[in-house]
Amino acid sequence: MTMRILIGGFQHETNTFAPSRADWAAFQRGDTFPAFVRGAAMVERLRHGNIAIAGFMAGARERGWSLLPSCWAGATPSAHVTRDAFERLAGVILDDVGQALEQGLDAVYLDLHGAAVAEHVDDAEGELLARVRAMVGPARPIIASLDMHANVTQRMFDAADALVAYRTYPHTDMADTGRRAAVLLQRRLARGEREPLHAARLSFLLPLNVQTTMIEPTASIFGALGALDAAHDVVASFAPGFPAADIEECGPVIWAYGDEAPAAVRQLHSRVDQPRSQWRLDILEPRTAVATALDIAASAQRPVVIADTQDNPGAGADGNTTGMLHALLAEGAGRRFPSGIALGMLYDPAAAAAAHAAGVGAQLTLAVGTAVPTFSGQRSDPPVWGRYTVRALGDGHVALKGPMTMAPSVELGPCACLELEGVLIAVASAKPQMLDRELYRHVGIEPERMKLLVNKSSVHFRADFAPIAEAILVAKAAGPMAADPADLPWRKLSAHMARRP
């Protein structure tokens, strides 16, 4: 008898300290995510992307399972998901579960993030999974894939038969994780009951910048997961967590499914937990970062890259702060390397519209960027006034080619390259994280030819930019996303959780 699996997805990484919320329109747009899609169109649109649900669909086809598509929706990380948006998405999925039960439903797979916080529900994924469980009963399997930055809660473990997380950051294995979810479902079906679960929480928060699997110690830890699975016949996961969601269960979790799960988790936990000094990372003040980068660039053959980590749209910021632009101008970066310095992408729809109205070659007196509230209670740096030259324009339709591509293209609205004092600024009408070199090329900036690139990103940029970078630095300009979780004004975080390693 053919297995009938309902599939769907809900993706949001919630920075509860960020300035902007994710409403229903944000999920309909998607921005750097695929936009809201329902039914058969979801299968067609998502089946070939580097996205967990695509990997699960491939694994399901290989096993001869029949898929019942519900909906998939993702929105750029931000502050809370609005009550309206969450209830709309949950309502669609639950309606489809109800219809599937009438048709003969055997299991449910959901492509979730794991760090979503709604206005009325701190544990959005736990709430969704619990509602699905209440409908399908205790016997039908529910499997979910999670982002590596999931804040995995006990309610999520209780509601799902199995959870599995990405193993790379930048997340280049999203489709592979969906395939592992299919393996977990197959194991669950073969056993006829839930596999034994063992989980352990770490007692400290991990900053995003140290979580990347392109540097140590994370590279070795995640690189060993495959061997750990094989040695113990388990499927293990380590979610370092998203350290900007003010909920009680925010923080890193290790877990595994299988008869030898306790042994596997103990082994992994001992490697992650000690020494805590392994998790410390140097983060530079803006002008120090720029001065250091310029010194390196003087003799480098490849660009130096600075991560503007506290204005990362991939972690809840809006990509519109100006701290790094002020630093570039103060250090004379554009005078030292004229048209060899680029910053992107800066979210400023008004500046982009003005550039399109004026045309290439025009000069405009503008205030670029925005001063926004930050977690410190103060505002970020002021807009940068100046006489800008319009160097290039773009329509915002960008075909992505890097390893982080989840969909073939993104829609950013009117875009432009503005030049001020020799610094090139890639301006957009949407809020993309700078994770693909094509975002620069769209407005005429060739990243490989630059001496210095300032990317509004924390880690995802490394997937496409590390291969061309002479060096990578991390800067701490004022913005909504704290590079150090200890800087955040926590209210709900467990009293047992240390705010830094």
pLDDT tier at 280, thresholds 50, 70, 90? confident
215 and 329 belong to one structural domain? no
Asked if the structure places residue 215 within a domain, the reply is yes
Q: Is residue 294 predicted with pLDDT exceeding 80?
A: yes
304-313 pLDDT, tens digit each: 999 999 999 9
Does a structural domain hold residue 443? yes
Domain identity same for 182 and 86: yes
* Residue 349 and residue 260 in one domain: no
Q: Are residues 20 and 88 in the same domain?
A: yes
Model confidence pLDDT, tens digit, residues 141-190:
999 999 999 999 999 999 999 999 999 999 999 999 999 999 999 999 99
CATH number at residue 195: 3.40.50.2300
In DSSP notation, 279-333 reads G----B-HHHHHHHHHHHHTT-SS-EEEEEGGG-GGGT--S---HHHHHHHHTTH
Neighbouring CB atoms inside 10 A of 176's CB total 18
- Decide if pLDDT at 258 tops 80: yes
Q: Has residue 407 got a pLDDT over 80? A: no
18: in domain: yes
Last residue of a domain, one of 228, 251, 278: 278
* Amino acid occupying residue 135: M
Whether 1 shows a pLDDT value over 80: the answer reads: no
Are residue 252 and residue 331 in the same domain, yes or no?
no
Residues 273, 206 share a domain: yes
CA distance 279 to 469: 23
Residue 451 lies in a domain: yes
Per DSSP, which regions of 88-208 are E strands? Answer: 107-112, 142-146, 162-165, 197-201
Picking from 225, 247, 278, the residue at the C-terminal end of a domain is 278
Asked whether the predicted pLDDT for residue 90 surpasses 70, the reply is yes
273 lies in the same domain as 292: no
Q: Are residues 266 and 298 in the same domain?
A: no
Q: What is the mean pLDDT of residues 78-86?
A: 97
Residues 259 and 307 in one domain: no
Residue 32 has pLDDT above 90, yes or no: no
Structural tokens at position 278: 């392994």
- Residue 493 domain flag: no
For residue 494, being part of any structural domain is answered with no
Residue 231 to residues 43, 179, 194, 236, 273: CA-CA distances in angstroms? 35, 20, 21, 11, 21
Range of the domain at 446: 286-483
Report whether 184 contacts 109 (CB < 8 A). Answer: no
Q: What is the pLDDT of residue 348?
A: 98
Confidence of residue 406 (pLDDT cuts 50, 70, 90): low
Q: Are 431 and 300 in a shared domain?
A: yes
pLDDT tens profile 451-494: 999 999 999 999 999 999 999 999 999 999 999 999 999 999 99
What is the tens place of the pLDDT at every residue in 184-240?
A: 999 999 999 999 999 999 999 999 999 999 999 999 999 999 999 999 999 999 999
One-letter amino acid for residue 138 of the chain = P
Q: Which two structure tokens, joined as six digits, stand for 338?
A: 């004229």
Same domain? 183 vs 55? yes
State the chain's mean pLDDT as an integer.
Answer: 96
Which of the listed residues 258, 278, 298 is the one where a domain comes to its end? 278
| Per-residue pLDDT at 351 | 98
How sure is the predictor about 34, in pLDDT bands with cuts at 50, 70 and 90? confident
CA–CA distance, 159 with 91 (Å, rounded to integer)? 18
Residue 495 lies in a domain: no
In a domain, 311, yes or no: yes
If one counts the domains in the chain, the total is: 2
Query: Does the pLDDT at position 409 exceed 90?
Result: no
Q: What is the pLDDT of residue 490?
A: 96
Label residue 122 by pLDDT band (50, 70, 90).
very high
Q: At 501, list the tokens.
A: 């390693």
Q: Is the pLDDT of residue 53 over 80?
A: yes
pLDDT band at 375 (very low <50, low <70, confident <90, very high): confident
The C-alpha atoms of residue 117 and residue 91 are separated, in whole angstroms, by: 17
Do 293 and 423 lie in a common domain? Answer: yes
Q: By C-alpha distance, which of 114, 385, 366 is closest to 250? A: 114
pTM for the structure as a whole: 0.92
Give me the pLDDT at residue 281, please. 81
- Distance between CA atoms of 395 and 414, rounded to whole angstroms? 5
